[in-house]
Amino acid sequence: MSFNPIALINENKRLNEQLRELKKGRYTLPSLCDYFSIGEVAFARFRKNTPDFPSPFLIGRKLFWSVDKVDEWVNNNVD
SS3 content of the chain, % helix, strand, coil (to 5): 40, 25, 35
pTM over 0.75: no
Query: Mind listing the pLDDT tens digit for each residue in 2-59?
Result: 555 566 566 667 777 766 766 666 554 444 434 333 333 334 444 444 444 444 444 5
3-state DSSP assignment of residue 45 = strand
